[in-house]
Amino acid sequence: MDKLMQDANRFVSDMVEGLVLAHPDLYAKVDGVNVVKRKEPLNGKVALVSGGGSGHEPAHAGFIGDGMLAAAVCGEVFTSPTPDMVLEGIKAADAGKGVLLVVKNYSGDVMNFDMAKELAELEDIEVETVVVKDDIAIKKEEDRRGVAGTVFVHKIAGAAAAEGKSLAEVKAIAEKVIGSVRSIGMALSPCYMPESGKPGFDLHEDEMEIGIGIHGEKGIDRKPVASVEAIVTELLDRLTAEVTDKKVAVMVNGMGGTPESELYITYKYVAEQLQAKGYDIVRPYVGNYMTSLEMHGFSITLLPVDDELVGYLDAKTNAIGF
Amino acid sequence: MDKLMQDANRFVSDMVEGLVLAHPDLYAKVDGVNVVKRKEPLNGKVALVSGGGSGHEPAHAGFIGDGMLAAAVCGEVFTSPTPDMVLEGIKAADAGKGVLLVVKNYSGDVMNFDMAKELAELEDIEVETVVVKDDIAIKKEEDRRGVAGTVFVHKIAGAAAAEGKSLAEVKAIAEKVIGSVRSIGMALSPCYMPESGKPGFDLHEDEMEIGIGIHGEKGIDRKPVASVEAIVTELLDRLTAEVTDKKVAVMVNGMGGTPESELYITYKYVAEQLQAKGYDIVRPYVGNYMTSLEMHGFSITLLPVDDELVGYLDAKTNAIGF
C-alpha cells in the first residue's frame, strides 16, 4: 500500500509539523516532542489531555480547541506515547486547575498515562484519569477498547471544563459518558502500517470484517460483503442490546478511507433502523472522527443523552475535527 | 472494489436522504429530485447554485449554508444532472435577486446548466453563469476542467452574495477568482464506479498518476511512486509557473480515500516549498473538499489573494464542508 509520506520514521513528526503549519492560530508544538497544545493558554480552567498512538486523525490533535482538549500527545503510529511525552502534554496543558487525562483502554496507554500522572504529581500538578472502553466487539467489559466514543468524552468533558467546573466535576461528567457510550465497527478493507507496508489483517476483496479495532486488530466475525442495510442491522442489533435508553446521540464514524458519500448512505439506514426500534436521535454526527489510517469502513456509536449532555454537545468549540 | 451501499442505482438518492436526515436544520430536499436546498430560504440575497455529477462529496451539497450555496444539484455519480434538475435547483434557491450558477467546465455540465438558465429565464428568474476551469493538467485553457478551485468560487462569491451584492457584482467577484485560481492533482490509486465496480484507470501498486481528473480520468503522466517531497516539487513547479502573484491561499485537497495524516504530511512539504519560492501563504486549507469517490491522492490549489478575497474567505459560514 503506497502512502503520501517522506519516510515512515517521520510519518508522525511530519504530520504534526504540517498540522501546526496549517493552523498556526490554534496550535503550537511542544519543543522536542510530538505533543500539540493550544496556541493560547487556558485561563483558570481544568485542562483535558488525550492522545495515544497516531493514525487516528483527526483524533486527537484535531480536537484541541476551546471547549475540548488543551493538548494531545501523538505517539508513533498505533504505538503508545512514552510517560515522558505524556508528562510534557500535562505540563503544556495545565492552567493551575488540574488536568484530566482521557485515555483509551489499551494496556500500553493505561500504563504510560498512569506513570505520567505520577510524574506530574511529583511536580505538584493535580491529575485525574478516565479510561474509555466503548467497543462492544469485546465481550468482557474491562477488556473493551476505547474507540470513537472517546470523541464524545472529549466534547462533553471539555465543554464542562470550559464552563469552569472543577477537576472532580469534569471527571464525573466524563465518567457519566463512559458509563453509557457504546460503539462497534466494521471494515471492507484493512489499514496498512507505514513502516512495513503490511495490512493489519488479510481480507479478501469480497469479504468484510465485523468488530474490528482501530489499530489493525481483526474483527470478531468475517463474512461475505453484505448490503449496507444488512451490515447496519447487524451492528445495531448488537448495540441496541446494550443501549436501552431511547434518547441518543449517534455517530457514524469513517475509518479514514471511506468516502463521505458512503458515510451518508450508511447514516440513512442507521437513522431509519434506529427510528423503527423506537430510538429518538437527538444529535447525529457523520464524518471522520476516530480513524485507522486508510481503512475503508465505519463504526456506529450510541450515547444516551439527557439535557445536560445535549447542552455540552452543542456548546461552541473551534476544534477543527469536531 | 466493495462499497457501503444498498444498490448502485440508489447511491445518490440514498446519500442525499442521509445528508438531509443528518442535518435537518440546514438542509431540505426538493421533492422528487436529487436537489438539496437550504432549509431556511434566503432573504433578499443573490442565490448561488452549483452541482454536477455526484461522487465529489462534500462538493457540492456540503457547501450549502449561509455565505455559500443556496442549492446543490446532485447528478448521478460522475454524470451531469439534467436541465430539469438544474431548473429545480434554480427555482428552489431564487430569493428574487437572481441566481448565479457555478459550473465546472465539462461539456455536459456547461450544456445542461445553460439550458436550465434559458428555462429559468422563461419563468422570469434572472440567471448568470460562471464556468470554473482551474485544472492546469490540461494545456489548452478553454478545455481545462473545473476541480477543487471551484470551492474557492463557492466561498468567495457566496460571501459576496451574503453581503448583499447584486447579481452582476457577485458574478464579477466569481470571475475574478476563476481568472486566477489554478489546481493540479495526483493519485496513488484510482476510484471505482459504483455500478460496474471498474476503476477509472488501471494503475500498478507501485505507480502513481500525475494530473488526474476528478471523474476517473487518468493523468498526463504515469511514473513510479515517489516520496511526497518529490511529488509536491513536481506539482508546485507546474503551478508556480502559472501563478506568479506571491500572496496566496492554498488548498491541499484529499481525493476521498486519503487519510488526514497524509494530507497534513503533504501540507508540510507544500508550505515549506512555497515559502522557499517566496510565496506568502495567507490562508491554508487542508482536508477533503472536492473528492473523487475513494481515490487515494490529493490536489493542490493556489489562489492569489488581496484583502478583498481574504475577507470573503474569512467570512462566516455554517456550511458543513468548509
Q: Which residue, A116, A147, A177, sits at the end of a domain?
A: A177
Which residue range is the domain that position A96 belongs to?
Answer: 9-177
B280 touches chain A (CB under 8 A): no
Distance CA B18, CA A232 (A): 14
Partner-chain residue, chosen from A22, A260, A267, that has the shortest CB–CB distance to B286: A22
Indicate which residues of A carry an active-site annotation: 56, 215
Is it the case that residue A1 has pLDDT exceeding 90?
no
| Residue B56 annotated to the active site | yes
- Closest residue in B to A322 (Cα–Cα): B320
- Closest residue in B to A275 (Cα–Cα): B21
DSSP secondary structure, A35-89, as one string:
EEEESSPP-SS-EEEEEEEESSTTTTGGGBSTTSBSEEEEEEETSPPPHHHHHHH
Distance CA A317, CA A66 (A): 5
CB atoms closer than 10 angstroms to residue B241:
10
- Would residue A4 count as lying in a domain? no
Same domain? For B27 and B169 the reply is yes
- Would residue B4 count as lying in a domain? no
- Would residue B320 count as lying in a domain? no
pLDDT digits (tens, 9 = 90+) for A7-43: 999 999 999 999 999 999 999 999 999 999 999 999 8
Which set of grid coordinates corresponds to residue A270?
442507521
- Closest residue in B to A286 (Cα–Cα): B22
CB atoms closer than 10 angstroms to residue B229:
17
Distance CA B195, CA A253 (A): 24
List C-alpha distances in Å: A148 to A152, A286, A290.
8, 12, 5
- Closest residue in B to A194 (Cα–Cα): B262
Q: Do A2 and B288 touch (CB under 8 A)?
A: no
Q: Which of B56, B60, B154, B296 is catalytic?
A: B56
Q: Answer whether 0.95 is exceeded by the pTM.
A: yes
Contact B298, A3 (CB under 8 A): no
- Per-residue pLDDT, averaged over A157-177, amounts to 98
Edge-to-edge strand order for the sheet containing A247-254? A221-224, A207-210, A182-189, A296-304, A247-254, A280-287
- Per-residue pLDDT, averaged over B201-222, amounts to 95
Helix (H) or strand (E) holding B300: strand B296-304
pLDDT digits (tens, 9 = 90+) for A59-93: 999 999 999 999 999 999 999 999 999 999 999 99
Contact A68, A81 (CB under 8 A): no
Same domain? For A91 and A25 the reply is yes
Pick the residue of B264, B288, B290, B322 with the most A CBs within 10 A to test the interface with A by mutation: B264
Single-letter amino acid code for the residue at A321 = G
Same domain? For A89 and A124 the reply is yes
Partner-chain residue, chosen from A208, A291, A297, that has the shortest CB–CB distance to B259: A291
User: Which residues of B fall within a CB distance of 8 Å from A23?
Assistant: 284
Burial of B141 (0-12, 13-18, 19+ CB in 10 A): exposed
Same domain? For B157 and B195 the reply is no
**Average pLDDT of the residues of chain B:** 97
- Cβ-count burial B52-90 (b if 16+ within 10 Å, e if not): bbbbbbbbbbbbbbbbbbbbbbbbbbbebbbbebbbbbb
Partner-chain residue, chosen from B17, B225, B257, that has the shortest CB–CB distance to A259: B257
CB atoms closer than 10 angstroms to residue A129:
17
User: Which residues of A fall within a CB distance of 8 Å from B319?
Assistant: none
Same domain? For A212 and A124 the reply is no
Q: Do B55 and A261 touch (CB under 8 A)?
A: yes
pLDDT digits (tens, 9 = 90+) for A198-238: 999 999 989 999 999 999 999 999 999 999 999 999 999 99
Same domain? For A16 and A158 the reply is yes
Cβ under 8 Å to A: B residues 43-102 = 54-55, 57-58, 62
User: Which residues of A fall within a CB distance of 8 Å from B23?
Assistant: 284
Is it the case that residue B178 has pLDDT exceeding 90?
yes
Is it the case that residue B1 has pLDDT exceeding 90?
no
**How many structural domains does chain B have?**
2
Same domain? For A48 and A172 the reply is yes
Which set of grid coordinates corresponds to residue B214?
476528478
Same domain? For B83 and B216 the reply is no
Edge-to-edge strand order for the sheet containing A27-29? A27-29, A35-38, A71-77, A47-54, A99-104, A127-132
- Would residue B146 count as lying in a domain? yes
DSSP secondary structure, A147-176, as one string:
-THHHHHHHHHHHHHHTT--HHHHHHHHHH
Look up cell 434566503; give the residue: B42
List C-alpha distances in Å: B213 to A214, A233, B76, B209.
32, 36, 17, 10
B291: CATH: 3.30.1180.20
Distance CA A60, CA A63 (A): 6
pLDDT digits (tens, 9 = 90+) for B51-96: 999 999 999 999 999 999 999 999 999 999 999 999 999 999 999 9
B167: CATH: 3.40.50.10440
User: Which residues of B fall within a CB distance of 8 Å from A3?
Assistant: 188, 262
Cβ under 8 Å to A: B residues 247-276 = 256-269, 271
- Closest residue in A to B17 (Cα–Cα): A268
Q: Which residue, B146, B177, B208, sits at the end of a domain?
A: B177
Q: Do B4 and A188 touch (CB under 8 A)?
A: yes
**Average pLDDT of the residues of chain A:** 97
Which set of grid coordinates corresponds to residue A236?
445495531
What ipTM was assigned to the predicted interfaces of this complex?
0.98
Q: Read off φ and ψ for residue A85, nearest 5 degrees.
A: -65, -45
Distance CA B16, CA B34 (A): 7
Distance CA B124, CA B231 (A): 50
pLDDT digits (tens, 9 = 90+) for B11-59: 999 999 999 999 999 999 999 999 999 999 998 999 999 999 999 999 9
Same domain? For A205 and A154 the reply is no
- Would residue B317 count as lying in a domain? no
Interface size A-B, in CB pairs within 8 Å, comes to 169
Distance CA A197, CA A301 (A): 29
Partner-chain residue, chosen from B227, B261, B297, that has the shortest CB–CB distance to A54: B261
Q: Do A268 and B18 touch (CB under 8 A)?
A: yes
Same domain? For B37 and B78 the reply is yes
Look up cell 430536499; give the residue: B29
Distance CA B287, CA B298 (A): 9
- Would residue B321 count as lying in a domain? no
Which set of grid coordinates corresponds to residue A283?
444529535
User: Which residues of B fall within a CB distance of 8 Å from A4?
Assistant: 188, 228, 231, 258, 262-263, 265-266, 297-298
A188 touches chain B (CB under 8 A): yes
Contact B200, B184 (CB under 8 A): no
Distance CA B322, CA B320 (A): 6
Pick the residue of A260, A274, A279 with the most B CBs within 10 A to test the interface with B by mutation: A260
* B166-169 contacts, C-beta under 8 A, 24 or more apart: B166/B46, B166/B97, B166/B98, B167/B46, B167/B97, B167/B98, B167/B99, B167/B100, B167/B126, B167/B128, B168/B128
Is it the case that residue A196 has pLDDT exceeding 90?
yes
Is it the case that residue B246 has pLDDT exceeding 90?
yes
- Closest residue in B to A191 (Cα–Cα): B259
Same domain? For A61 and A138 the reply is yes
Report which of B205, B183, B165 is spatially closest to residue B298, judged by C-alpha positions: B183
Chain B nearest-CA distance from A106, in A, is 22
Is it the case that residue B270 has pLDDT exceeding 90?
yes
Chain B nearest-CA distance from A290, in A, is 11
- Would residue B319 count as lying in a domain? no
- Per-residue pLDDT, averaged over A171-187, amounts to 98
Is it the case that residue B272 has pLDDT exceeding 90?
yes
Paired with A223 in beta bridges are A208
Contact A139, A88 (CB under 8 A): no
Contact B42, B93 (CB under 8 A): yes
Q: Which residue, B152, B177, B202, sits at the end of a domain?
A: B177
DSSP secondary structure, A87-113, as one string:
HHHHHHH--SS-EEEEEES-HHHHHHH
**pLDDT for res A144:** 98
Q: Do B5 and A298 touch (CB under 8 A)?
A: no
- Would residue B2 count as lying in a domain? no
CB atoms closer than 10 angstroms to residue B126:
16
Partner-chain residue, chosen from A1, A5, A260, that has the shortest CB–CB distance to B228: A5
Pick the residue of A4, A255, A267, A314 with the most B CBs within 10 A to test the interface with B by mutation: A4
HSE, CB side, 13 Å, CA atoms: give it for residue B37: 21
Same domain? For A203 and A269 the reply is yes
Report which of A108, A109, A104, A250 is spatially closest to residue A182, judged by C-alpha positions: A250
